[in-house]
Amino acid sequence: MDKQIEFENYKIRQPEIWAGNIDDRELTERIRDSEFARKQNDTGKDYCYFLDKKYYTSNTENGEYSCMAYTLNEPANLERASVSDIVVEENEVYNIHRISVLRDGVLIDKIPDTKIKVLDSENQSSGGILSSNKKINITIKDLRLYDVLILEDSRLKSFTERDFLRKEFSKYVWVSPDNYWAYGNYKFTFINDREEKIAFKKTFFRDENGVVLQPEINYLNKGEKFVFEKQNYINPVDASREIFPYIDFATDNSWKDLSNYISSIYNEIFNTASLKDFAPNLIEKLDEISDLDEKIQFAVEYVQNNIYYIFNADEMNGHKPQEPAITYENKQGDCKAKSVLLKAILDYIGVESSIVLVNFHTDFYIKYYLPSLLTFNHAIVKINYKNEEFFVDATVRDEFGLLGNRGFTYFMHYLEVKPDQELKIRKPHKYPYYCIDEKVDFNVQNTIGKIVLTTTYKGNRANAMRRYFKNTNKREVIDSWNNFLFYSLNYSNDRSGTDVRNIFKDASIDIISDDKKLNEFKIQYKSTVENPYYTDPKNDRFLMYFDRNVVKASARDFMHEDLPFWHNFDSEKYEINLYTDQKIDTQEKYTIQESNINNPYFDFISRKKITKNGATINIEFNPLVNLEIPQNDFEKFKTDHHTIADSNFGLGIDIIEPGLMNMLKFSFKKRFK
């Protein structure tokens, strides 16, 4: 290709030397039908004749190259190929080397039919996110069904001073391809042109029997390559039950080396100035608070709510934080800046704290990854107080409570920004309070039922409900509770299709209290039901209340060979009272059924009190959370959740209809049951 067209964010040009070069003759020779190709086409799927991917890394730049040829036999695939978007970072250039089609055996250059626009990446420039990323929109005219599309392109990221971490360290994760595609030839090459040695680790690869192989770790010196190549290849992974095999490439380091490197950078920032030097007004407010618990609450909420969270995508590529004086003065900063300012305030009031690096999105994989600072994408604060560890995300807004009452952030792995640290695993957690504490009173007289729900939320639940009530229309909130009760009282089975507003008359919901120190949010729902009993097809009447939120469907339905179940359920407590002016069956099996489950990962207790006119059930659910359930414990864990679902998540009472014949009918039914 002779065309050389250059713009700031993209170029039409020849590939880099490290990417190699393929001429038209070689290209067309590689696009040949085979028995494997015909078999894939017969299934109705599109087919990739070849895919050649390369990743190049040096101390000055990273590059990714791809050359591929695939069929456009499916209209949806043709549509996707006709218009595509490429997002490039600051100082990253997208290079187009070839856009062609093979049509009826003739190779046609489609670059003259290609329209390219450079747009701001609007998805990443709102809500506190600042980004100089650009979106390159590519439209290819006159692509036709049954064309073979050939795309050859690359992207090159040159490092600036802001990318000091990328200059020093490399990290890249190759993930095996989507198993929709069949490849005549699939090839991936990693090229190390750095001065430092690169380690690479193959994880979740399987043998011919589908058994996961032990991870392999090997090394690449400067100038060396790793090649993964397959012929007639379909990724055999079971996408719904297995993790896609991947290879992690990272500059060879230990966690201790990395913690020493990063802690020196943070110490430099901490030593720039003390809180006394730049925040006298804040110190004055802190000094007015005598109670240390309240000082901590003030410090956390000040940084969370008064310092605007700015996620600067370009600066987040490095780990050098903004000085706390600048963050305080400008009232804005990213996660590192906000965390450093919070630590500076905690240092002033004499509370031990540290910065920790996390990645909530890839938390499960961190234990498998090679040590790398580029694994982490977020900074939070760890507080040691009263012999306990608390983790505070300084970027969150509208959270309240003294330290022990604040919302709980779920994650397992972190690197503490201190010298000589290893990767740490956070301890499992047991809530010292009930996240949901609810009392249900449903009393029926004659044909009128009065229902009252009084609910206290704590921790994450309180924060979430506080936001929900603040941001949601009152009528919508009431409808939400009405819909919940429509199913809980089993009305969905005897009056399906009825407008819930016609069932729950005069429904109201009110905030009873909001304690921002205890982080308790209490509400009360009330309504009248004119036809309160559920009636089955035999015209037998029942009073029921089953809260399906108590049943953890995710635990009962979970099936995966590689991923352990992540346990993050809330602690819950319920008191459900159902009373009527009718006689009830006090010996019915499910009415009197109780449960007591003592699983290593949760306790579940339901206790009942039965009278001639009603019943009460008390339910308590106390989980051990923030951990992965080991595979060998999961079957028992799952079975115990099935036990909860077997009528132990609520209460039902059977009405004995008045009259001699009904009493005889009931007695006869009990005798022969």
Amino acid at 643: T
Whole-number Å distance between alpha carbons of 109 and 141:
12
Instruction: Quick: pLDDT tens for 163-196.
Output: 889 999 999 999 999 988 999 999 999 999 999 9
Whole-number Å distance between alpha carbons of 459 and 632:
31
Q: What is the pLDDT of residue 125?
A: 42
Q: What is the pLDDT of residue 90?
A: 80
Whole-number Å distance between alpha carbons of 401 and 300:
10
Instruction: Quick: pLDDT tens for 613-646.
Output: 999 999 999 999 999 999 999 999 999 999 999 9
Q: What is the pLDDT of residue 126?
A: 40
pLDDT band with cut points at 50, 70 and 90 for residue 311: confident
**pTM of the entire structure?**
0.91
pLDDT band with cut points at 50, 70 and 90 for residue 315: low
Q: What is the pLDDT of residue 222?
A: 97
The span from the first CA to the last CA of the chain, in angstroms, equals 86
Residue closest to 1 by CA, chosen among 19, 13, 11: 13
E-only strand ranges, 212-318: 216-220, 225-233, 246-251, 308-309, 311-312
**DSSP labels for 65-84?**
EEEEEEE--SHHHHHHHHEE
Query: From the CB of residue 527, how many other CB atoms can be counted at a distance below 10 Å?
Result: 22
pLDDT band with cut points at 50, 70 and 90 for residue 161: confident
Q: Which residues are 275's β-sheet partners?
A: none
What is the maximal distance between C-alpha atoms in the chain?
A: 100
Phi and psi, residue 533, nearest 5°: -90, 140
Q: What is the pLDDT of residue 202?
A: 97
Tell me: pLDDT of 15 over 90.
yes
Please, are residues 461 and 435 in contact by the beta-carbon 8 Å criterion? yes
Alpha helices in 318-422 (DSSP H): 324-330, 335-348
Instruction: Quick: pLDDT tens for 387-406.
Output: 999 999 999 999 999 999 99
Q: What is the pLDDT of residue 274?
A: 86
Find all residues with CB under 8 Å of 360, minimum gap 6, and list them. Answer: 378, 410, 411
Instruction: Quick: pLDDT tens for 522-569.
Output: 999 999 999 999 999 999 999 999 999 999 999 999 999 999 999 999
Whole-number Å distance between alpha carbons of 609 and 290:
47
Amino acid at 306: N
Mean pLDDT over the full length of the chain: 93
Whole-number Å distance between alpha carbons of 144 and 174:
32
Share of the chain above pLDDT 70, in %: 94
Tell me: pLDDT of 124 over 50.
no
Three-state SS across 437-468?
A: EEEEEEEEECCEEEEEEEEEEECHHHHHHHHH
Rg of the chain over all Cα atoms, to the nearest angstrom: 31
